[in-house]
């Protein structure tokens, strides 16, 4: 596979772009892509090949088509059915260090994206892949959430918080079945929002789709923000938000996160309940 990717990179650079030399190539293999970073004429760029299917590239191109004009995606330099080349985004994952200017800008740009109507639920309905009839039907079909209680001794208060969260997560909120869906990123976790001083870029658009806006926001607010940062975001986010749905999506995400220890899950759930 790596030899084929190398050969395609050489073809694209030399035959399609007319570049016969590049600087400091570096390869890495992530969960979803094989990535080669390189320099050309003083710029750093990223050559990405999806590991799973060409549908990943189609989703990225849908993102450029639907929201590229909003200015928060990396610059697209080249794409074909096998790869995409974008400008390399320097920056830190969004988190407690994010300035108020960045929080306000993010709220404004996401308000614009979440105003774009979309049909159906889940990844955008291209080639009849991955669509669901509605949010309620999707979540009713998911297995019940369970957690490993043996990993930690819980206090009565912690046990009560956990039990309540499991009950709430199992109940699909009224109205969600008929919720309107809008264009969403699908995985707005902190490492997909890279902060550059007073600006930011959003990367990894493989899961762009039609979602209730609360699902996108539930991922975003789980970025270890302070209460003040969350408040500032919602003060500047102009779309109406159903906070009961938002908390429901957030609880499910926290409970299903296999990388979080039980104590950390309970802490995060308590923070979400205060929103």
Range scoring the smallest mean pLDDT among 75-79, 153-157, 161-165, 211-215: 153-157
Q: Is the pLDDT of residue 129 over 80?
A: no
pLDDT computed for residue 121 by the predictor: 83
Residue 93, Cβ density class (10 Å: 0-12 exposed, 13-18 middle, ≥19 buried):
middle
- Kind plus residue range of the DSSP H or E element containing 87: strand 84-87
User: Given 60, 87, 114, which residue is the final one in a domain?
Assistant: 87
Whole-number CA gyration radius for the chain = 20
Select the highest-mean-pLDDT range: 98-102, 117-121, 128-132.
98-102
Q: What is the pLDDT of residues 173-195, one digit of tens each?
A: 989 988 899 999 999 999 999 99
User: Given 87, 115, 139, which residue is the final one in a domain?
Assistant: 87
Rounded to the nearest 5 degrees, what angle is found at the Cα of 249, between the Cα atoms of 244 and 255? Answer: 120
98 lies in the same domain as 180: yes
78 lies in the same domain as 124: no
Q: Is the pLDDT of residue 218 over 60?
A: yes
Residue 116 confidence class, pLDDT cut points 50, 70, 90: very high
246 lies in the same domain as 119: yes
User: Given 87, 109, 134, which residue is the final one in a domain?
Assistant: 87
113 lies in the same domain as 47: no
197 lies in the same domain as 241: yes
Q: What is the spatial distance between Cα 156 and Cα 158, in angstroms, rounded to a whole number?
A: 6
Q: What is the CATH number of the domain that holds 62?
A: 3.30.200.20
Range scoring the smallest mean pLDDT among 85-89, 237-241, 257-261: 257-261
pTM of model > 0.95: no
Our count of domains for the chain comes to 2
Contact (Cβ atoms closer than 8 angstroms) between residue 49 and residue 55: no
245 lies in the same domain as 135: yes
Q: What is the spatial distance between Cα 55 and Cα 129, in angstroms, rounded to a whole number?
A: 9
Residues 6 or more apart whose Cβ sits within 8 Å of residue 160? none
| DSSP β-bridge partners for residue 78 | 85
Q: Between these two residues, 41 and 128, which has the higher pLDDT value?
A: 41
Average pLDDT, the chain: 90
Q: Is the pLDDT of residue 153 over 90?
A: no
176 lies in the same domain as 121: yes
pLDDT computed for residue 75 by the predictor: 96
Q: What is the spatial distance between Cα 29 and Cα 49, in angstroms, rounded to a whole number?
A: 10
37 lies in the same domain as 146: no
In the sheet where 122-123 sits, what is the strand order?
117-118, 181-184, 209-211, 122-123
Q: Is the pLDDT of residue 124 over 80?
A: no
Q: Is the pLDDT of residue 120 over 70?
A: yes
pLDDT computed for residue 125 by the predictor: 64
Range of the domain at 46: 2-87
Q: Is the pLDDT of residue 130 over 70?
A: no
pLDDT computed for residue 184 by the predictor: 94
Q: Between these two residues, 124 and 69, which has the higher pLDDT value?
A: 69
Q: What is the CATH number of the domain that holds 213?
A: 1.10.510.10
83 lies in the same domain as 119: no
pLDDT computed for residue 52 by the predictor: 83
113 lies in the same domain as 224: yes
């Amino acid at each position: 596979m790596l030899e084929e990717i190398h050969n395609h990179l050489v073809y694209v650079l030399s035959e399609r772009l007319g570049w016969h030399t590049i600087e400091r190539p570096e390869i890495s293999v992530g969960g979803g892509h094989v990535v080669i970073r390189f320099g050309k004429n003083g710029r750093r760029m990223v050559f990405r090949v999806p590991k799973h299917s060409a549908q990943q590239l189609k989703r990225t191109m849908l993102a450029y088509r639907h929201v590229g004009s909003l200015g928060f995606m990396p610059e697209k330099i080249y794409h074909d059915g096998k790869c995409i080349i974008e400008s390399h985004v320097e920056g830190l994952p969004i988190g407690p260090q994010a300035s108020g200017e960045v929080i306000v800008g993010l709220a404004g740009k996401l308000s614009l994206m979440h105003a774009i109507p979309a049909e159906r639920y889940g990844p955008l309905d291209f080639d009849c892949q991955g669509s669901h009839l509605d949010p309620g039907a999707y979540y009713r079909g998911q297995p019940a959430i369970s957690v490993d209680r043996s990993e930690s001794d819980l206090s009565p208060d912690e046990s009560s918080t956990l039990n309540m969260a499991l009950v709430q997560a199992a109940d699909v909120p009224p109205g969600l079945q008929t919720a309107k869906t809008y264009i969403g990123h699908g995985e707005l976790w902190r490492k997909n929002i890279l902060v550059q001083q007073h600006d930011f870029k959003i990367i990894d658009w493989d899961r762009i789709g039609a979602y209730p806006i609360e699902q996108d926001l539930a991922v975003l607010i789980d970025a270890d923000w302070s209460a003040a940062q969350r408040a500032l975001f919602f003060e500047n986010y102009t779309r109406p938000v159903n906070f009961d749905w938002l908390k429901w999506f957030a609880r499910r995400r926290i409970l299903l996160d296999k990388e979080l220890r039980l104590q950390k899950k309970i802490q995060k759930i308590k923070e979400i309940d205060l929103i």
